[in-house]
A and B are shown apart, each in its own frame.
Chain A
Amino acid sequence: MAQAISRRNFLRGGLATAAGVAASGVVLPQAVRAAGGQELCTVLDLSKCIGCEACVDACRETWQATVPDPVNPMPKPFPSRVPTQDWSKRKDVSDRLTPYNFLYVEHLDFEHKGQALELHVPRRCMHCVNPPCANLCPFGAGRVEKNGIVNIDPDVCLGGAKCKQVCPWHIPQRQSGVGVYLDIMPSYAGNGVMFKCHRCLPLVKQGKQPQCVEVCPEHVQTIGLRPQMLAQAEALARQKAQADGAAPDRWRDYVYGIEENGGTNTVYVSPVPFAVVSAAVNQAHAQAAPGQGKGRAGAGKQGGKRRKAGFAGRPPMGPVNNTMESAENLTAALVLAPLAGLAAGFTRLFGKKQPPSDQPPQEQPPSEQGGQS
């Protein structure tokens, strides 16, 4: 997450660096590079994915057991309208994100330019460059590692689900009845622990690849340093655009994740424009069988309305503005305000002149002095 100037400049600099690296032909082992503390990014070539779900199986086999089972009975939250979410008896669910399933594959059937197409899209956390889930977590449970991996510390998370609310894709999923909130005030504060893909952080720390990358028989995913991966994604997207009959400079229509939410470290490249993919994803979610994701644990909320079961735990794929942009812009106010205050003070703007030394300043009883500490 080393971003010294601004995200846009970082992106520009990253692309320039990528071009330089590509031109020089210097390629170091990724694990070595990652150990240096630079951000890792994955590129997914969707035209390669056959939907075998080997990635899903490997992810579940490796990490499902690390998510604990809830206590029984589970504490009843106060007030009673606060829902408990228990997926512990539905660990087999693999067609959406759950606390026990960090990755699923979206199987899409749609038409494009008069042709029936099939596309399979592995979905998990996007690992944003400037992730609102980690930034806005009030307790520091949301973490961004130096290698760009965004993860949630299960020993700190209270399960308030703020991260899910501020995530544009609503990725983190809550399991109630587990975690540190049980030792504090289980009925009145917290509601479990939020879980999501941590891109196999323990394995990556050992210099290994994430399981979903490692086991894929079609080599759909590539992982590497962000500048290199962005350059790779652009080159691939240019090919896809050309193959689809579009101008090569329309390549951004064929990538997803470079600009979304201010930039992510998961970049999808598709053989068709992502406007088409997004529509297909929305259609698939709308048509999801009523039984899927049924029940309180499966239901989700968005915009104050309970979403259809097909949308819960299944992230959309449309355009996403930078959710941290407002905070980034308001930083200027935080810098300018004290400077303006100092300038006003030193020029005695709004301030009365110093009373003469032989006359005391205005006398007030203490009762009029509010807000002191």
Chain B
Amino acid sequence: MSVMSYSPGGRAARWLYGIATGFALFSGFGQMPIFKRYYLADLPGMAWTANFFITSDIHYLAAALLLGLLAWRLALDARTTGAAWSWGPRSWWGWTLLGLLVISGAAKVLRNLGIYLPPPLIMVLDFTHLGSAMAFMFTGLVVLVKPKPKPNLRGLAG
């Protein structure tokens, strides 16, 4: 079965989306003290991965890029009818995960500004953010590696 694809911005937008999600996931996992423990920071040129302030800044920048792209897409979607996009979530599941990530991430940003949030809520937000990111990553990986159906060219030939 073929899929109609709508790709404003072309390949550049797809790459930007991939870069934003990739860096957001990488820097997000880097917020846990695992890169140094498990030798990633020992690889040549990777020492910065053990610096939590650098990975935090990268996380912010990747999140900003991702938010910009998604907002752009939503605005275009509002003026477009039912076209499937060649990047980004296509299912309710993907949008739900992204929504959870944005909401929990926004709350964590507020906390980083020094705005008080109750500690139990922060713990829920932290685990929501982590869980949603892991689910998003595994879902993306499954989509990437699952066998792809062959394109249906009969419709075009006919």
A328, A350, A369, A373: the one contacting B13 at CB < 8 Å is A350
Residues of A contacting B80 in the complex (Cβ-Cβ under 8 angstroms): 354
B37 within 8 A of A: yes
Q: Is A1 within 8 A of B75, CB to CB?
A: no
Q: Is B60 within 8 A of A364, CB to CB?
A: no
Q: Is B57 within 8 A of A342, CB to CB?
A: no
Residues of B contacting A352 in the complex (Cβ-Cβ under 8 angstroms): 6, 8
A16 within 8 A of B: no
A324 within 8 A of B: yes
A27 within 8 A of B: no
Residues of A contacting B79 in the complex (Cβ-Cβ under 8 angstroms): 345-346, 348, 354
A207 within 8 A of B: no
Residues of A contacting B60 in the complex (Cβ-Cβ under 8 angstroms): 327, 330-331, 333-334
Residues of B contacting A129 in the complex (Cβ-Cβ under 8 angstroms): 114
Mark contacts of A340-373 with chain B using CB atoms, 8 A cut-off: 1 yes-contact digit, 0 otherwise. 1111111010111011010011111111111111
Interface size class of A (residues with CB under 8 A): 35 or more
A345, A366, A370: the one contacting B151 at CB < 8 Å is A366
Complex formed: what's the CA distance from A279 to B68 in Å? 48
Q: Is B139 within 8 A of A139, CB to CB?
A: no
A126 within 8 A of B: no
Q: Is A4 within 8 A of B115, CB to CB?
A: yes
Complex formed: what's the CA distance from A3 to B130 in Å? 26
Mark contacts of A139-171 with chain B using CB atoms, 8 A cut-off: 1 yes-contact digit, 0 otherwise. 111011110000001001000111001100000
* Known A-B contacts A3-B115, A138-B126, A146-B116; A373 and B74 likewise in contact (beta carbons under 8 Å): no
Q: Is the interface of A mostly helix, strand, loop or mixed?
A: loop
Q: Is B75 within 8 A of A373, CB to CB?
A: no
Minimal beta-carbon separation of B102 from chain A (angstroms): 9
- Closest B residue to A354 using CB positions: B80
* Known A-B contacts A3-B114, A341-B67; A372 and B143 likewise in contact (beta carbons under 8 Å): yes
Interface size class of B (residues with CB under 8 A): 35 or more
Minimal beta-carbon separation of B13 from chain A (angstroms): 7
* Known A-B contacts A143-B119, A351-B8, A364-B5; A370 and B87 likewise in contact (beta carbons under 8 Å): yes
* Known A-B contacts A139-B126, A363-B5, A372-B90; A341 and B70 likewise in contact (beta carbons under 8 Å): yes
Residue with the highest number of chain A CB atoms closer than 10 Å, among B47, B60, B77, B156: B60
- Closest B residue to A2 using CB positions: B116
Q: Is A344 within 8 A of B88, CB to CB?
A: no
Residues of B75-106 at the interface with A, using a CB-CB cut-off of 8 Å, are 75-81, 83, 86-91, 93-94, 97, 106
Q: Which residues of B pack against A, CB within 8 Å?
A: 2-9, 13-14, 17-18, 21, 31-34, 37-39, 47, 52-53, 56-57, 60-61, 63-65, 67-81, 83, 86-91, 93-94, 97, 106, 109, 111-116, 118-119, 122-127, 130, 136, 139-140, 143-144, 148-151, 156
Q: Which residues of A pack against B, CB within 8 Å?
A: 1-4, 6-7, 10, 79, 82, 129-130, 135-141, 143-146, 153, 156, 160-162, 165-166, 189, 262, 304, 323-324, 326-328, 330-331, 333-334, 336-346, 348, 350-352, 354-355, 357, 360-373
> What 7 A-B pairs are tightest by C-beta distance, nearest first?
A345-B75, A341-B71, A140-B123, A365-B151, A351-B8, A1-B116, A337-B68
Given contacts A135-B112, A137-B126, A304-B47, could you give 9 more A-B pairs where the C-beta distance is less than 8 Å? A1-B114, A326-B53, A326-B57, A328-B112, A339-B71, A345-B71, A360-B4, A361-B83, A373-B94
13 intermolecular pairs with C-beta atoms under 8 Å apart:
A1-B114, A140-B122, A324-B114, A326-B57, A331-B112, A331-B113, A334-B109, A337-B64, A337-B65, A361-B83, A364-B5, A369-B3, A373-B136
